[in-house]
Structure 1
Amino acid sequence: MPNDLSNPRYAATHSIAGQPCDAGDEALSVNPATGEIVGRFPAGGRAEAEAAIAAARGAFDTTLWAQSPRQRQMVLLRWADAMERDTEALAELLTRTNGKPLAQARGEIGGAVSEIRYYAGLTRHNPGHALEVAPGEISVMLREPAGVASLIIPWNAPAVLLIRSLAPALAVGCTTITKPAPQTALFTARCMAPLIADPDVPAGVVSLLFETGHEIAELMTTHEDVDVVSFTGSNLVGQRIMSAAAPTMKKLSLELGGKSCCLVMEDADVAAIAPKLAGAALIISGQQCTAARRVLVHESRFDEMKAALSAALASAKIGNGLEAGVTMGPLIDAGSRDKVWTEIEATFDAADEVVLRGAVGEGPEGSAFMSPSLVAHSDDNAGFVQEEIFGPLLVMEPFGSEAEAVAKANNTVYGLSASVWTRQSDTAWRLARALRNGTVWINDHNKLFAEAETGGYRRSGLGRLHGYDALLDFCELKHVYQDVGVIGAA
């Protein structure tokens, strides 16, 4: 679209207690495939954060939102219906602001709608339990909403990663402040618009803030009136949030980095698997925490897999996600692309073998294209094997036995996800049980959906999102005791 900032089609404002607010300097959203300006939004600061937190605290303390599961369910169902009706416009805006191919954007919207409906159902089923611990002595355990929840949402899957925090937080009765990444701020605003406008959502239950710096996020993680922080992003930022939240002892829900391993066993069908591994590596142009990053291959199939995987990666059609047939879009912005490319170039110099040498792609000024790269390396302690490089780089490593494969895969500070590729079910389950990861797929990768919890071991985070257990990240458990006596007892 032309760089016409008078066009209000893609303009957004903060929403605080249900009211629009345009305070802050104007910030621009840029299409990473074309360099064109998509629209504008205000970059807020401390004043807007304080107002939103005060509104959320007031709504939690003074309204019946937390005690009204049927009302919350209907709000979520209406939101899902509105998003579903708006799928095409949402998907197009997601592609314009994030760069992913339109088909992937449609799939993400569909997954987000499904997840809202999933949590709408759980809204009316968040039970505790009761027991009689001694004659006439009754203990009741209640799961109650934790209070005010701050949600900090990344840009790589801004629909699903918004909904998997916001939907369970609202389902249990929390009040919320959402801060999306600036790159996808316009998309989040459109996505949340029907929810914000719903007349059954009390003022203060849902607020939406934008910024280009860190002032709002800092207050959202330190303020005394915030009870829960939900964040998806890098391990380094997660550590800073833990430190910032420590003085007020907030509940934390953190999904952080990953270095997902794919274990390809001796009996695997290399020709069939290679395109699937390439797809798992290039999802969101390699900018997903569960993306395939390391491929561990039995030494007897290593050369065969190198050829097949290199060909599969090279066949990716790279371009503007709005164009037909594109399978890989740009990285999120030119600055991120340049940072990732610097890391990949250093990998070329250090790896045992460069199997497929990618390159910074050509495109309009301001675009952020890059083609995939594949290296082979035997030392699993190498920096580029250990560190998360957030782009289209895949590392192949050989192994000779199951024990060696597991030792290499577990030699990491992360533990988010992995996959096992074999025709033998006993082998698959033996390896899956030995891998220290929150999710292990068998003969598949990146299968994420509402019903199954996602989260990591070790430095990949705290808590779980998706699934029933996501409710627990936004709840407190209360024990109520009473000795009521027993009829007829002496």
Structure 2
Amino acid sequence: MSDTTFDWAPAQLLIDGQLTPAADGSTYPIHNPATGEQIGEAPDAGQADMEAAIGAARRAFDETDWSTDHDLRMRCLLELYAALVEQGESMRALTTAEVGAPAFLTAGPQYDVPVEGLKWVADMAATYEWETDLGEAAPMGIRTHRTVRKEPVGVVAAITPWNFPNQINLSKIGPALAAGCTVVLKPAPDTPWVACELGRIAAEILPPGVLNVVSTRDVDVAISLTTDPRVDLVSFTGSTETGKRIMSTAASSLKRVFLELGGKSAAIVLDDADLAGAVGTAAFSVCMHAGQGCALTTRLVVPRERYDEAVEIAAATMSSIGVGDPTDPGTICGPVISRVQRDRIVRYLDLAKADGGTFATGGKVAERGGGGWWIEPTVIAGLTNESRVAQEEIFGPVLVVLAHDGDDDAVRIANDSPYGLSGSVDSGDIERARAVARRVRTGTLAVNGGVWFSPDAPFGGYKQSGIGREMGVAGFEEYLETKTIAEGVGS
């Protein structure tokens, strides 16, 4: 494992424009998942810190011109974008060290793409139509001129996970700030440092209270974001079970919720597709970042008559990738985030075996010197879509191969899931692929290798994969309220 030469600033909270430790001085360790070694400490905020952060965000929204001064917001966001570009080398290295993300991904969805997304949303908001003139009408015989205004929703609680922290932090903060909201960001306990570093950079650019960053391991402190009446919207990305709890607790004050939750997406390969290409792509994608992505296609649905061949291709691809040092530019599959997550994946592997599944490759902890938390890329064969490993989100480098008996059956299998986040369809006939894609109930779909991930493309899911959309204009509008103003003509 290579050592970084960066000397990152200690992680601190950002509250009301000030970088600060937790009020009571509490901290907790930050570990490198590739080595298991402690690499830093994060403030372990208490209720007093969260109260201060929410209060600062509320004052910044209610008592300053942040929510109404569009030009100020765009200037600040573009300055923040430029600063994040300038700090890119350090932030990419920190992301690899704290998250275990392979270095090659930091040039894409783990850092560079979300930073570019910040510029995209700033540019989009600069030309956004904040008012729409409905013209004059005479409802109930009264001459009236109507205008529809878009206004910021208010204080936003952004609660983010550990798997793609820069992507998800910025895809919430960027649109919320561009809309005129103020934000309290609560990052995942496993990856607080990249969020605190974002806060450190933002503290030099944003007005006090506009962005607050609060790291904590205390579940009750985090829950207060969902119950506090001063918070107007909760934007959460994470597990479906946690999303359900947030939706329930937020209901006490009827605050709005945005939920981007789990997935068990299907890669459908039709019988006229290039089997080697489609299966190889699916197997490769599940290895990226050790399979720790909610939108990865972790169910591979292939023609029954070519099932054994597909399993063999998937196994060859994943065994050739293996696991490796995430600082190595050639590594695809790094460590999983923690011992807890590794052990959770192992329990699913044991369950697959108990249910009669076989491992075409992998199936156990990867043995590496130097510590850390590793799982071999794994292909599970011999199970049906009713098995738990085909229905539940594992969040590891684990691919379940399922057989279908034609297009209708492939669609049935893809839709036979509590989730509906992503997926793919491959066919030699584009019209056939499109017809299947239209029938799959999921928020994003790749057809014949197309890429949907982009700052201007909405992302989100059907069913238990969530409520609302992130990125694109739709993601920006999650942070807006709609107001209709009617003026009597001649008054």
Category of TM-score, reference length = shorter chain: over 0.9
Unaligned runs of 5+ in 1: none
Question: 1:413 corresponds to which residue?
Answer: 418
Question: 2:124 corresponds to which residue?
Answer: 122
Tell me which amino acid in the other structure corresponds to 1:282. C
Aligned-residue offset at 1:380? 1.6
Question: 2:330 corresponds to which residue?
Answer: 325
Selected match of 2:137 from 133, 143, 150: 133
**Deviation string, structure 1 residues 305-345 (Cα, Å, up to 9, x no partner):** 11111100111141221124222100001121111111122
Structure 2 residue matching 1:96: 3-state secondary structure: helix
TM (normalized to structure 1)? 0.94
Tell me which amino acid in the other structure corresponds to 2:265. S
**Deviation string, structure 1 residues 112-133 (Cα, Å, up to 9, x no partner):** 1210001111222143422123
Question: 1:296 corresponds to which residue?
Answer: 301
Question: 1:99 corresponds to which residue?
Answer: 100
Question: 2:343 corresponds to which residue?
Answer: 338
Question: 2:268 corresponds to which residue?
Answer: 263
Aligned-residue offset at 1:392? 1.1
Tell me which amino acid in the other structure corresponds to 1:421. D
Contact 2:19 2:200 in 1 (8 A): no
- When residues 183 and 449 of structure 1 are mapped into structure 2, their CA distance, relative to the original with a 3 A threshold, is same
TM (normalized to structure 2)? 0.94
Structure 1 residue matching 2:170: 3-state secondary structure: helix
Whole-Å Cα distance in 1 between the matches of residues 104 and 2 of structure 2? 24
Question: 1:281 corresponds to which residue?
Answer: 286
- 1:389 maps to 2:394: yes
Percentage of identical aligned residues: 34
Whole-Å Cα distance in 2 between the matches of residues 415 and 2 of structure 1? 39
Question: 2:447 corresponds to which residue?
Answer: 442
Contact 1:10 1:186 in 2 (8 A): no
Contact 2:379 2:400 in 1 (8 A): yes
Aligned-residue offset at 1:243? 0.4
Structure 1 residue matching 2:419: 3-state secondary structure: coil
Tell me which amino acid in the other structure corresponds to 1:13. Q
Whole-Å Cα distance in 2 between the matches of residues 371 and 10 of structure 1? 34
Question: 2:177 corresponds to which residue?
Answer: 170
Tell me which amino acid in the other structure corresponds to 1:162. N
Whole-Å Cα distance in 1 between the matches of residues 297 and 198 of structure 2? 28
- When residues 412 and 128 of structure 1 are mapped into structure 2, their CA distance, relative to the original with a 3 A threshold, is farther
Show structure 1 runs of 4+ deviating over 6 A.
none
Whole-Å Cα distance in 2 between the matches of residues 366 and 64 of structure 1? 51
Whole-Å Cα distance in 1 between the matches of residues 99 and 299 of structure 2? 25
- When residues 161 and 445 of structure 1 are mapped into structure 2, their CA distance, relative to the original with a 3 A threshold, is farther
Tell me which amino acid in the other structure corresponds to 1:182. P
Aligned-residue offset at 1:254? 0.5
Whole-Å Cα distance in 2 between the matches of residues 2 and 273 of structure 1? 34
Question: 1:19 corresponds to which residue?
Answer: 18
Give matches, 1:57-76, under 5 Å.
57-76=58-77
Question: 1:230 corresponds to which residue?
Answer: 235
Question: 1:148 corresponds to which residue?
Answer: 155
Tell me which amino acid in the other structure corresponds to 1:61. D
Contact 1:25 1:44 in 2 (8 A): yes
Contact 1:359 1:370 in 2 (8 A): yes
Contact 2:270 2:406 in 1 (8 A): no
Aligned-residue offset at 1:162? 0.7
Tell me which amino acid in the other structure corresponds to 1:116. L
Whole-Å Cα distance in 2 between the matches of residues 392 and 256 of structure 1? 19
Whole-Å Cα distance in 2 between the matches of residues 389 and 195 of structure 1? 35
Aligned-residue offset at 1:29? 0.7
Contact 1:282 1:291 in 2 (8 A): no
Q: Alignment RMSD, CA only?
A: 1.9
Question: 1:467 corresponds to which residue?
Answer: 472
Tell me which amino acid in the other structure corresponds to 2:444. T
- 1:348 maps to 2:353: yes
Whole-Å Cα distance in 2 between the matches of residues 272 and 333 of structure 1? 32
User: Could you tell which deviates more after superposition, 223-232 or 318-327?
Assistant: 318-327
Aligned-residue offset at 1:202? 2.3
